[in-house]
Structure formats: C-alpha cells, structure tokens
A = this chain, B = another copy of it.
C-alpha cells in the first residue's frame, strides 16, 4: 500500500531472481503506481490559508501531521488490501475486521501519536448480515486493543465497482501534553534497534501469497508443514497492534524513531532517516509461516524482506543509554517480547549481514 506524503515504496525492481517470484510478477507494479501517483500529487497541490491549519512536513513518514489551533493531529488512511479475498474464500471476517484498525493505527504509532478515533469504510457487492457482524466484532476488538473510538464510517453497496468486500479506514491521533511527533530526524549512529514481533503476515503481501497458494494447490483447511491449525487461519491472523507500545515510549527523549514494518518490509526503516544505515545484525529467525510462503514461490530472501514483515512488525530506534528504560516501559504494556535486532551506523540503507542483504532507497 502506498502512503502519502513522502516517497513511495517501489519494490520488485530487479531484486528478485529470474526464476523466483517477485511482487511485481504477482501483478503489483509499484513503479507504475508511483509514476501515476506522482502526477496526481503534482496536480493536487493546494496551500490553504493558515487559518485552516498548518500541515507539518514530515518527509517519508507514515501519517499526515497538521497543527490545528493548540493541538497537532496525525491522520493516516489505509485498506486491508487483498487479504479480504482470503477472508472471502475462508468465510471468516473477524480477523480482517480487526485489521482495519491495525493497518491504520500502527501508522499513527509510527509518529508517536496517541490513538483517538477511527472511521471505517466498507465497499461491498452486497451487505451480508453475518459477514458484517463478524467484521464488527473484529473492528471492536481492534478498537479496544488500540484504545480508539469509532467516530463514524461509510458503507457503500456498489456491486458495479467492487467484487466481494473491500475494507479500509482512516485513523486520527494526537500528541498529548508536551509530546512532539517522533519523525526519525534525531536518529544517530550508535542508536539501538528494538524490534517487537509480528503476529504472522499481518495484511501485507497477499496478492503474491494468494497467487502462490493457487498455483501450489494448497489446502488451506490443513496445517502447513510444521504448522498448527489450518494454514488459512494462520494466514488470516490479524495485524498486531502496537499503539500501547508506542504510546508508552513516545515521550522518552531517547526514542528517536518508530517504524511500522508493513508493505515494503525492512525498507520502511529507510523512510525514518536517509542518512543512517540500519544494520539488522541480530534479526530473529523468521517464523515458520514466512519460510513456508517463501518455499511456495520460490521467493528470494531479498524479495521476502521487502514484501513481508519477516517476524518483526514494529521497530523502536532508541539511544543506547535509554535502552533498558525503554524496554521496561514496553514490558509494562505487554511488549515483553521486544528484542534488539540491530543498530544504526553512519551510511545509508538497510543491511541484514547474516542474510547477505542490502537495500538502498525507498523511492
């Protein structure tokens, strides 16, 4: 998914090997989208008078920031994407209902904003009562996890436009007290990268995953090799919500950056600070579900790490001196599983030395 303002993800540019699967080959040409979007953005420029609020430019970041009156708000919008097609196939809607919240509020968490409200958008061929109730249960669970109110929504029954059901939303957050947006600008060599694990694939890479499942004739009702429970259920697991973790540490002056690893994988770190190198020297072994998906392709490691979260869904960039204090705060709000995954060096890009991988640029 592409977020604005800021540079756009553009994976699959010659990074997959010739016989393997890349995201571009699965039907998503991020380069073409970026070009079309660049044209749209050039044409859509608007500079409203100051009395209508003052947008804050945060290059490459996840959420739009705006000063209104005496507060700064953060706004982010995203959809669940093609994961809804898996929900449709499996007839299970609760997980993707919860994803509406996760995909949006985690982007708020990436600027250190506290969640406030969410509006959901459902486009569907037909409003099915049981499906909507399940979406509502998931949405409710996500909202409670994210400590976020449902402010409204839009339901459009548009069978001429949508096949099945599309789920999305917009989340709004703010900066309580004296908190300022965490943009990554203060990241410096020596900072430590703390990773908080993901709960599986979250809601990214499903265009590729679904093609591989189809081509491989995978039975989603059975466990994958080495897995527990039906593979379909494992793939559907909802996006872990990192808002309490972010909210617990965003006031700490040693927290220099926050990143939600969504579409774009580890490349998302580059958005935080272009003049730093993120060396992921102690990335934990990716959970089996990623290895299984990779084997269905095959997909190169290079493509895997720029398409999926590979086991780490959220990263806190923290000054070494504040590492233990920040870990304690994370533990106190349930993120006991945060682990050191690397550090920051002079340079640029992202490196995974143990995998022999290197990424440069995010546009």
Contacts and interface: CB of A to CB of B under 8 A. Distances in A.
Interface string A266-285: 00000000000000000000
Interface stretch (A73-81, A228-236, A249-257, A286-294): A73-81
Contacts of A52: 114-116, 147-149
A44 B85 CA distance: 22
A107 to B, nearest CB: 9
A166 B123 contact: yes
A70 B184 CA distance: 27
A262 to B, nearest CB: 12
Nearest to A172: B75
A53 interface: yes
B154 A78 contact: yes
Given A70-B69, A136-B42, A144-B46, A162 B172 contact: no
A66 B117 contact: yes
A129 interface: yes
A48 interface: yes
B154 A114 contact: no
Give the dominant DSSP class at A's interface.
Answer: mixed
Interface string A66-101: 101111010111110110110000000000010000
Number of copies: 2
A39 B28 CA distance: 35
B81 A51 contact: no
Interface string A139-168: 110011001111111111111111110101
Which of the four size classes fits the interface of chain A? 35 or more
Interface string A196-215: 00000000000100100000
Nearest to A49: B147
A246 to B, nearest CB: 13
A2 interface: yes
Contact of A207 (B43, B51, B160): B160
A37 B157 CA distance: 11
A4 interface: yes
A41 B149 contact: no
Interface in A209-226: 210
A2 B154 contact: yes
Contacts of A347: none
Contact of A168 (B1, B128, B154): B154
B55 A149 contact: yes
B79 A133 contact: no
A168 to B, nearest CB: 6
B170 A77 contact: yes
Given A44-B150, A68-B73, 9 more contacts: A2-B156, A35-B127, A36-B127, A40-B136, A52-B114, A53-B116, A55-B149, A75-B152, A158-B207
9 contacts: A4-B153, A36-B133, A51-B114, A68-B174, A84-B161, A123-B123, A160-B163, A161-B163, A161-B164
